[in-house]
Amino acid sequence: MLHAYFSSLIDSLPVFFQGLWITIQVSGASLVGATVFGFCLGILRACQIRFIKHTLAAYVDIVRGTPFLVQIFIVFFILPEFGIQLEAFSASVICLTFYGTAYISEIVAASIMAIPHGQTEAAKASGLSWYQRMRLIILPQAMRPILPPLVGQYVLLIKDSSVVSVIGLTDVARAGWLTVQRIPEGLMVFGLVGILYFVICYPLIHLANWFEKRLTGEALHL
């Protein structure tokens, strides 16, 4: 019986590979968007303008305080009631970007605010503009503590992408649900799903560990 299930699972590999490609596309687009917006909002949140800080803090609290499943349901099922109809792929990318931006902005803001305030004051005294201070003084130093948790957040975002299967996007997770209806051997089917997610995430996990060891080594030599 297991041999028959395994043969059927082998026959289903094209569906899994198609789901893997969709997962890579959704995750890749979301990571790019979340990184760009996360850095922009993180820099703004680290500024001293109270209204901006409080507004962005409210956005981060809402995103972090509500399940991602609820957020994607709102975008895909509730927004059409207001005339905003999105395809599953677009809704998935938008939701993951919106979700990832909140966490990445926190990482960026915390790293920027950890830079000693005296360096900012010294840069101001040297006549550097805000843009020059960020580009030449603040961000180069902030990137060291940013990189390890940033790559770790990438891994979490890729794993969270499995939730988008609930709106009909045929990613790796949905390929597993479709296959297990024909092959009633859940451990075998979702074991393959786990392996495929591991294939995507492992290089990033390794990269995060490399960054952490490298930065720790540099700190010990200072």
Q: What is the mean pLDDT of residues 188-211?
A: 85
Segment 197-204 mean pLDDT: 88
Coil/strand/helix, residue 170: coil
Contact present, 86 and 76 (Cβ < 8 Å): yes
Q: Is 83 left (phi over 0), alpha (psi -120 to 50) or beta?
A: left
Mean pLDDT for the stretch of residues 191-215 = 82
Amino acid residing at 55: T
Q: Does 181 score more than 60 pLDDT?
A: yes
CB 96 within 8 A of CB 164: yes
- What integer pLDDT is reported at residue 174 of this predicted model? 85
Report DSSP letters for 63-109, one per residue: HHHS-HHHHHHIIIIIGGGGT----HHHHHHHHHHHHHHHHHHHHHH
pLDDT above 70 (res 176): yes
% of the chain with per-residue pLDDT over 70: 94
Answer yes or no: are the C-beta atoms of 138 and 120 closer than 8 Å: yes
Structure tokens at 175: 């390929």
pLDDT, tens digit (0-9, with 9 covering 90-100), for 123-142:
778 888 878 888 888 888 88
The predicted structure's pLDDT at residue 2: 63
Instruction: Identify the pLDDT of residue 1.
Output: 62
Closest by alpha carbon to 13, among 220, 175, 197, 190? 175
Rounded distance between C-alpha atoms, residue 101 and residue 32, angstroms? 10
How far apart are alpha carbons 112 and 109 in whole angstroms? 5
Reported pTM: 0.86
Assign domain 2-221 to its CATH superfamily: MetI-like (1.10.3720.10)
> Distance between CA atoms of 157 and 161, rounded to whole angstroms?
6
State the pLDDT at residue 5: 64
For the chain, domain boundaries: 2-221
d(CA 87, CA 109): 33
Measured CA to CA, the distance from residue 160 to residue 168 in angstroms comes to 15
**Alpha-carbon gap, residue 100 to 151, rounded angstroms:** 12
DSSP state of 166: G
Which token pair is 14? Answer: 């094209």
Residues 93, 32: contact at Cβ < 8 Å? no
Tens of pLDDT, residue by residue over 55-112, are 999 999 999 999 999 999 998 988 888 888 889 899 999 999 999 999 999 999 999 8
